[in-house]
């Protein structure tokens, strides 16, 4: 059994590939930035990690989005909707949760198939 890991540190890996499935750690944007800026930053990070793992947003299976405040749902969705415009959208769940620091407003977790 082969497992590939990317962006590995002492606590976690940013991406793990097992067979034909890519699992990404929760991605967050720059602390203190707006919800839209954090969302765009996170989606850019996801694009990069998926590429490194041999996949792309076209192969998303499931996405979980955590917002520190559901009042930011529309602002996050405006950026998300532009990002998924030309693809078949994945299964998705969005919820509210206290994130690692109060400066984080968005965290996104992705599971994708390999390309």
Domains of the chain, start order: 3-113 (3.30.1330.40)
Which letter does DSSP use for residue 115 in this model?
-
Mean pLDDT of the chain: 97
115 — pLDDT class (breaks 50, 70, 90)? confident
User: Count of alpha carbons within 13 Å of 2, Cβ hemisphere only?
Assistant: 5
* pLDDT single digits (tens) 19-46: 999 999 999 999 989 999 999 999 999 9
Q: What is the per-residue pLDDT for 1?
A: 75
Contact, 104 vs 10, CB < 8 A?
A: no
pLDDT at 18 over 90: yes
* pLDDT single digits (tens) 43-69: 999 999 999 999 999 999 999 999 999
Tokens of 3: 């497992």
């Amino acid at each position: 059994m082969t497992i590939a890991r990317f962006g590995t540190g002492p606590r976690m890996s940013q991406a793990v590939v097992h067979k034909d499935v890519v699992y990404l750690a929760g991605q967050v944007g720059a602390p203190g930035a707006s919800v839209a800026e954090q969302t765009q930053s996170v989606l850019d990070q996801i694009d990069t990690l998926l590429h490194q793992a041999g996949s792309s947003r076209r192969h998303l299976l499931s996405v979980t989005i955590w917002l520190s405040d559901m009042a930011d749902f529309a602002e996050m969705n405006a950026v998300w909707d532009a990002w998924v415009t030309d693809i078949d959208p994945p299964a998705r769940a969005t919820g509210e949760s206290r994130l690692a620091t109060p400066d984080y407003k968005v965290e996104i977790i992705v599971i994708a198939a390999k390309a």
